[in-house]
Amino acid sequence: MAADPLAGDPGAITRLSSALADHQDDIRTGAHHVASALHDADGWEGASKDRFTTTVGTIAPAAQRIISRLDAAIDVLDTYAEAVRQIQDEADRIQAAQLTNAVDSIANAVSLGSAQSTAAGSDATEADDRRVDRLQTDADDLAAAAKRLDAEWDALVERRAAADRTAAAGLTDSEVLGVAVGYAGALAAMSDADFLRAVAGMPPEVLAAQDEAVADRIAGMPSEVVQAWWDGLGGRGTAGEHSAAQDALITALPAVIGNLNGVPYWARDQANRLSAQRAYVQAKEAVKAAKKDLKTAIGRTAQLAAQQKLNAAERRYDQLKNFVAGVRTGLNGVDGMPRQMVSFSDAQPPLGAISIGDLDTADNVSYLVPGMGTTLQDTTVLMRASANVAATQRLSEAGQNTAMVSWIGYEAPGNVLTTGDPGVFGESHARAGAERLADDLGGFRAIRPDTTLNVVAHSYGSTTAAITLHDHPELGVHSFVTHGSAGIPNSIPDAAATNADHVYSAQAEERWNVAHIGRSLSYPQRLDPTDSDFGSTVIDASGADRSPAVDVHDLIVNPDGDPDADHGYLDLDTNTLLETAKATLR
Amino acid sequence: MADLTVSWSTLEAVHGALDKATSTFTGASLPAEGGASGAEDVAQAFATFRTAQQRSDEWLADTSRTLREYAKDTKSLFADADDDLAGKAGGK
C-alpha cells in the first residue's frame, strides 16, 4: 500500500519521544535508589552480603544500557517527527497548488468552451480567435502544472515511505532493542552449543526481553548438555560466588532456570524464589481485582460468577503465600540447615518443592511425596514433617549432612472426605504425578549420581511414587518408605518391583480407616504394602518401645509433641518417625 | 565462612531503598504508539520496541524486588536466630 504523506501527527510522535525521555528519568531514579541500597549496605559484610552484591551490581549497568537504548529510540522518533512534519508541509503546499490548478483548469475549460463557441459564430472576430488561442495555451500550461504537481506528489509519497522505513528500521535496530531484530530466528537455526553460547552472552535485561521460543528451547535441553553449558559459564558456582553470566540467566529467565535439570540447586533456588515471589504478588493483585469485581457485579448470575472468581483467586493466593513462607518459616531441630526452593511451576494449580538441606552437597537426600488433598497451601505443614525426619537423622553420625525435600510437584487428588472428589480411588493423578516425580528425581540424579537417594511417601503419594520407582530403575533409589499407603498399583506386585534397594511400610490403626478405605475402594484394586506377600519391611506404628501410637492418617498433627494428643506418622517421638530416619540412613 | 557484620538498621535501610527502587521501576510506564505515526510498519516496529523495553523494565523491577525480599529475609533470619538463641539461653 502506498504511503500517505499526510498520515500521522508529528506532534503526537514528538510527545511519544518526550514520554520516552520521562521513562528514562524513571529508570535513572530507580537506579539511583539501587545505588543508595548498595551504599547503605556498606556496613554489611559476610556470605549473605556476597550474594547481594553480585546481583545488585548487575542493575546499574543494565539501567544504563536501557537508558542508552531509549536515547537511540528518542533520536529515531525525533528525526521521524521532523521528517513527517516537513513532508506534511510539502503535501499541504502541493495539495493547495493542485486545488488551485483544478479550479483554474475548470474555469479555463468553461472560458475556453465559451470562447470557442463565440469564435465559431458568424460574427466572430480575430480577437475571438486570439482569445481561444490564449485560453488553449493556458489550458496546456495548467495541464503541465497538474502533471508536475502529480509527479511532486508521487515523489512525496516515496519520501514518506522512505521516512517510514527508516523509522521502522531504527526502532528495531540493535541499538534500540539491544539485540538484532530477527535474532530469535537466527537462534532457532543455531546448533544447541552455539545457541547456548549466544544466550549466555546476552545482558540480562536483553535476555529477559527475548520471546518464549528462547526459554522453551533451553527448557527442552538434555540435562547433560545443560550441566556442561552451566559449568562452562564459570564453574558450578555457589549462592555467594558465581559468574555474571550465571546471574544474568537466573534473573532473566527464572521460570526456566528454576526447573532446569542440570543446573545446580543453589541457582534453581534463587530463580524459583524470584518466580514464586512474582507469582505471589500477581495472586495478591488478582484477589484485589476479584474483590472489586464482586462489589460492582450486578445481578445474581454476575455476582455468583464474581464470587467464584474471588474464591479461586483467594485459593491460589493462599497456596502461593504458604509456599513463599516455606523458605523462612520456623522449624524445629534443623537450625543451620539451608533451605532451597528446588522447583516451582506457576501453573494451575501452582506446584513446587522446598528442600531442608543443600541438594548440591548433601550426602543423603530424601524426597517426601504427599498424598490426597495436598496443595502448596500445605507446604509449611509438610516441611514440619520433613524437619522432624531431618532432625531425627541428625541425631546419628550418618545423618549430619542430609537433605529432605518436601515435594508438592504433582496435582494430588482432592481430599475425598472433605470434597467428595473420588480421584483418590483411581490412578490417573498418580500416573501423571509419577512422570513429574521421575523428571525431578532424574534431574537430581543427573548432577548427583553417587548420592544416596530415598523416597518417603504418604497415602496417595505412595501410589504415585511406586509407579515412578517401578518405571525408572535407573533412578537408583536406596530406601522407599510408605506411610498409610492408599495402595500400590497391582502392576507392581511386590517390593522388588519398585526397584528400591529397601522398602519399608507403616500402617497405623487410623481413626476413620482412611488409608484402608482408599485401598478398598480403589479401582483397579491396589495392594497394601504392609501385607506379608508384598515383601516390605513393616514399621510398627502401634506404639513400640513406649513411643506413642500413630492414630490418625495425617503425617503431622502434633507439633508440640504432646504425648496425650493424636499422633501422625512423622510426629515427634513416634516409632514411625524414628524408623523413617533410620531407613533413609541405612 | 566469611566474617559476618551487619546491623538491623543497615538491613532496614537497604530494604527501604530497594522498596523505593522496586516501586519506581514498577510504576515506570511506557507510552503506546496510539496511531501517532499513521504508518502500519512504524506502529508495528514501535510495538516490538515497546515489548522489549517493557520486558527489560520488568527485569529491573523483578531483580530489585528479589533483592528487597532478600534483605527482608535476611533481616527475619537474624531475628529468628536471636529468638532461638534467647529461647535456648532460657532453657526452652
pLDDT at B89 over 70: no
For residue A38, give the chain B residue with the closest CA.
Answer: B14
Give A-chain residues touching B18 at CB under 8 angstroms: 33-34, 37
pLDDT at A117 over 50: yes
What is the pLDDT averaged over residues A242-259? Answer: 88
B39·A7 Cβ contact <8 A: yes
Q: Which of A244-248, A494-498, A538-542, B50-54 has the lowest mean pLDDT?
A: A244-248
B48·A8 Cβ contact <8 A: no
A40·B80 Cβ contact <8 A: no
pLDDT at A354 over 50: yes
Neighbours of A543 (CB within 10 A): 17
**pLDDT, tens digit, 9 for 90 and up, residues A82-101:** 999 999 999 999 999 999 99
Last residue of a domain, which of A177, A212, A243?
Answer: A177
Position A578 in a domain: yes
pTM: 0.81
Cα A165 versus chain centre, distance: 35
For residue A16, give the chain B residue with the closest CA.
Answer: B31
**DSSP string covering A429-480, please?**
HHHHHHHHHHHHHHHHHHH-TTSEEEEEEETHHHHHHHHHHHH-GGG--SEE
Tell me the H-state helices in A232-361. Answer: 244-252, 254-257, 265-296, 300-325
Higher pLDDT among residues A152 and B83, named by residue: A152
**pLDDT, tens digit, 9 for 90 and up, residues A291-311:** 999 999 999 999 999 999 999
Confidence (pLDDT) at A179: 75
Å from B2 to nearest chain A CA?
5
Last residue of a domain, which of A137, A162, A177?
Answer: A177
**pLDDT, tens digit, 9 for 90 and up, residues A218-234:** 999 999 999 999 999 98
For A422, the domain range is 337-585
What nine digits make up the cell of A576? 514411625
Count of domains for chain A: 2
CATH number for the domain harbouring residue A423: 3.40.50.1820
For residue A56, give the chain B residue with the closest CA.
Answer: B67
Last residue of a domain, which of A177, A201, A235?
Answer: A177
Position A520 in a domain: yes
Confidence (pLDDT) at B91: 53
Q: What is the mean pLDDT of chain B?
A: 85
Please calculate the CA angle A544-A545-A550 and round it to the nearest 5 degrees: 35
A164·B77 Cβ contact <8 A: no
Give B-chain residues touching A16 at CB under 8 angstroms: 31, 33, 36, 46
Higher pLDDT among residues B15 and A185, named by residue: B15
A41·B20 Cβ contact <8 A: no
Give A-chain residues touching B58 at CB under 8 angstroms: 208
A44·B6 Cβ contact <8 A: yes
Give A-chain residues touching B85 at CB under 8 angstroms: none
Query: Which residues in A537-581 belong to E strands, given as ranges?
Result: 537-539
Position A135 in a domain: yes
Position A313 in a domain: no
Position A279 in a domain: no
Position A416 in a domain: yes
Confidence (pLDDT) at A180: 62
A55·B66 Cβ contact <8 A: yes
Confidence of residue A580 (pLDDT cuts 50, 70, 90): very high
Q: What is the mean pLDDT of chain A?
A: 94
Q: Which residue in B66, B82, B92 has the most chain A C-beta atoms within 10 A of its own C-beta, making it the best mutation to test that interface?
A: B66
Rounded CA separation A380/A408 (Å): 11
Confidence (pLDDT) at A183: 66
Please calculate the CA angle A170-A178-A252 and round it to the nearest 5 degrees: 145
For residue A23, give the chain B residue with the closest CA.
Answer: B28
**pLDDT, tens digit, 9 for 90 and up, residues A65-83:** 999 999 999 999 999 999 9
Confidence (pLDDT) at B92: 47
Rounded CA separation A441/A365 (Å): 10
Confidence of residue A420 (pLDDT cuts 50, 70, 90): confident
Position A490 in a domain: yes
Position A316 in a domain: no
pLDDT at B37 over 60: yes
- Closest by Cβ to A176, choosing from B3, B49, B66: B49
Among residues A515, A513, A514, which one has the least CA distance to residue A505? A515
Q: Which of A182-186, A239-243, A469-473 has the lowest mean pLDDT?
A: A182-186
Asked whether the bond before B31 is cis by omega within 30 degrees of 0, the reply is no
